[in-house]
Structure 1
């Protein structure tokens, strides 16, 4: 007889990991199945922002923005190591949205979402402010406002880790091939490695949600519009630590964001994606578009040869027939099967990373109307994610404490470790007194002890898992250093 779970979650992106965490914390026996690596798709290819979405106000998405702004505060509080504040500079450019419109939008942005410790919007004179010196002549003033930055892939892993600590089983690289209700009315879920039974299933397939529905013999409850968002990375361009949000002539916006200390992240695009989901790359046209967007605003232009890395992710947006992909709603829809069908299946369609916790909570609440084991109070709004049990303003203190306890860490290394692991860094740093105590040094601060921890506790298997999702050290390491890690993992 195959194993019986209360809930099987299909999809190891941020929504799937969030649901697994919430359900496991309510006492359910949970299995999460992911065809690839955790956050292997969209959830590691975002713009890395926890934000309300200032531009969504233009589309009258007031409820969506308010919910996201409330979640922004909550996520900063429960994951202060991997979520942190970032100030954004918004120049007022001639021929674009007028100053009064931007000021009104930012007033709403500051006041509809229960902003607490984040700094309020202020007007800045660009000729006097260091941020203005980076821009081409033209804009004389602008606004500076707050949002938050996140290491998106680590947010997913932290949710999966907490789910596992609460009893969930996490299985990566195990694709679902089919699922059907059996004679007892329970779900029977088949993979290449085994068969599992469940009292309920959640389809958290993201841009592949319609494919998952098909494997379950069901029609998708909502149309999914696959919209590709592409980004480019260049060497650091600015002499300050603020980001820019830029207005473009086609009415879109573009971000230029400090990234990984030594780089600047530029994005994003909105393009309908008709290709396979396992081959998602920034097109040459999108790369050129982002270069031109940057050069239309900044005094120090970039060329194609300055792009050191590019990536693209496919957003799963609810298709409501909008003409332009950027106008498609970033809201989400939940679909629960009829009680008469037997064991329930709940589908998650759309959404954005900022709202994942609330999406998961609402999904588990809905399932709680059908499964007694889930009919318990919601709990995730105030519960720290692994390593995040410290005050949200104390990240700099944590960095200093890491350097005090492990003086062989440089300031940059301590910051990376603090933001990735928080208080859990000690689980692999242990009693180390020198770098040599952590085993082999793969370069850029990546040690054998950290690699072993990532394989043992965070489901990492390949160099790509480690260098581009569990860490972003792939940006920093040489080809030879990356090859050394691959050789070690294969040995």
Structure 2
């Protein structure tokens, strides 16, 4: 269970550090590439100007999916690749990813039934499928999901995809990278990167103004929406054309009691999802709004809220009103400019461009959560040979940190075809081992941390030592874990990315968490905020 015990530790960065690869960008692509390269034995430094997953990678619809609607745009290769990755990911981290059934009410005026059946048949068979059941037609007058819909929707289709806690996925990739020797540096921006004969000379700058120099043999530009600007400005290259599309979501109190999600077809030929979220809520999204100019902070507009409420209300028996919205989030997706007229039709595939000069530069364009591991593997396959690294791909059969439950439920977890049955057995094992741990905390920790729960609880103690309860269900031991092992530096990092407790806590409780973090954690990063594992490079 290396993934449980391996952990980041603080270590000062040398005045002039050297590494094999400097990865710029702490979203899913940057964290995934850092993980893969570190696992091949390369010395990796990952820097992120804000928090891990603070922008696009925590603002997805939180699906591990092939992209059913992309079939309509004939993106068969992308869908096949994503469908194959869907099962790889579900196996790798059953605590933060799980199967989800989707209900699509049939609207004959939009798409005929035969077309939907044909699309679902392709979706079921484009890639090997072991964990997920096949699609089927349903009578919504009898199916549990029909009760939440308006009565005119009598026929529908049910198919399978997966759900993912996107921000935790990024954190766990960074944790795994650090456990394999990478250094992860948050709240540091790459202010400048210049190519020299022997490599890249980079200047990193912290939020407090601290500057450090890093020499790297290769540079990876995984800055997401900022990748084109980084290439042109900091890396002094040629600007790349990207289409920036903002996607926004709303969260409302729970609209239906069953565990299925909905795919809802809109009159504008787009779709939105309505997904069970955090037990007490429903997540609705997304929009597609073209962004002109630099990305900047993404915020939802009132028109987007109205759009999502109106589209959901066309289907749901209980109309959705803007006044019901308890939280919103938005992110800017960097999409390849394929000259599609409609933003929703722009490809979600990715492109890797390797400038293989003496000091290699790998630029990452586009991508989506579901294909991040494949993207990272392909990036490492292309970059490693230029650095004299012969180690091959390794992530396809590897667990993400916390995903290997075998120490708790036995070796059957390693080859399971029912990952959620394994999670139920895991929860039962935790209840037996720590009967005094509050059940709600135990279930939440099982989902957030998986087997890494052993780092929060003293395995030799019968009664868990949780510390003070800072807010409902949030104890000091969890806050310290997130700070020490997952780079949390503020209450926002904890409440809205590492966990989603911000949705469940009152304003007073959120303020209590903020004050606790300010009292116990440094407000700004310093040179010692570089996380590494035992035996990392010097």
Calculate the TM-score normalised by the size of structure 2.
0.88
Deviation of 1:405 (Å)? 2.4
The separation in 1 between residues aligned to 2:94 and 2:181, in whole angstroms, is 24
Deviation of 1:401 (Å)? 1.9
Deviation of 1:224 (Å)? 1.2
Deviation of 1:278 (Å)? 3.9
Q: Given the alignment, which residue of 294, 298, 319 partners 1:301?
A: 319
Worse-superposed segment, 22-31 or 95-104: 95-104
Q: Given the alignment, which residue of 138, 151, 170 partners 1:156?
A: 170
Backbone CA RMSD of aligned residues: 1.3
Deviations along 1:108-156, one digit per CA (max 9) or x if unpaired, are: 1111121112111111100111211111121211111110000000000
Deviation of 1:434 (Å)? 5.1
Q: Given the alignment, which residue of 464, 479, 482 partners 1:451?
A: 479
Calculate the TM-score normalised by the size of structure 1.
0.96
Equivalenced residues, count: 485
Deviation of 1:403 (Å)? 2.4
Q: Given the alignment, which residue of 77, 80, 85 partners 1:71?
A: 85
Q: Given the alignment, which residue of 377, 396, 399 partners 1:384?
A: 399
Give secondary structure in 2 for the equivalent of 1:55. Answer: helix
The separation in 2 between residues aligned to 1:87 and 1:427, in whole angstroms, is 33
**Aligned residue in 1 for 2:269:** 251
1:49 aligns with 2:63: yes
**Aligned residue in 2 for 1:346:** 362
**Aligned residue in 2 for 1:368:** 384
Give secondary structure in 1 for the equivalent of 2:456. Answer: helix
1:104-115 map, 5 Å: 104-115=118-129
**Aligned residue in 1 for 2:509:** 481
Q: Given the alignment, which residue of 28, 44, 47 partners 2:42?
A: 28
Give secondary structure in 1 for the equivalent of 2:249. Answer: strand
Give secondary structure in 1 for the equivalent of 2:22. Answer: strand
Gaps of 5+ in 1: none
Asked whether the equivalents of residues 244 and 295 of structure 2 are also in contact (C-alpha less than 8 Å), the reply is no
Deviation of 1:2 (Å)? 1.8
Asked whether the equivalents of residues 93 and 138 of structure 1 are also in contact (C-alpha less than 8 Å), the reply is no
Deviations along 1:367-397, one digit per CA (max 9) or x if unpaired, are: 1231112x31100000101110133341111
**Aligned residue in 1 for 2:445:** 417
The separation in 2 between residues aligned to 1:338 and 1:423, in whole angstroms, is 40
Asked whether the equivalents of residues 78 and 382 of structure 1 are also in contact (C-alpha less than 8 Å), the reply is yes
Q: Given the alignment, which residue of 217, 232, 246 partners 1:199?
A: 217
Give secondary structure in 2 for the equivalent of 1:234. Answer: strand
Higher relative contact order (CA 8 A, sep 6+): 2
Asked whether the equivalents of residues 94 and 139 of structure 1 are also in contact (C-alpha less than 8 Å), the reply is no
Worse-superposed segment, 383-392 or 166-175: 383-392
**Aligned residue in 1 for 2:237:** 218
Give secondary structure in 2 for the equivalent of 1:460. Answer: coil
Worse-superposed segment, 451-460 or 131-140: 131-140
Asked whether the equivalents of residues 187 and 198 of structure 1 are also in contact (C-alpha less than 8 Å), the reply is yes
Deviations along 1:15-39, one digit per CA (max 9) or x if unpaired, are: 0000000000000000000000000
**Aligned residue in 1 for 2:524:** none
**Aligned residue in 1 for 2:493:** 465
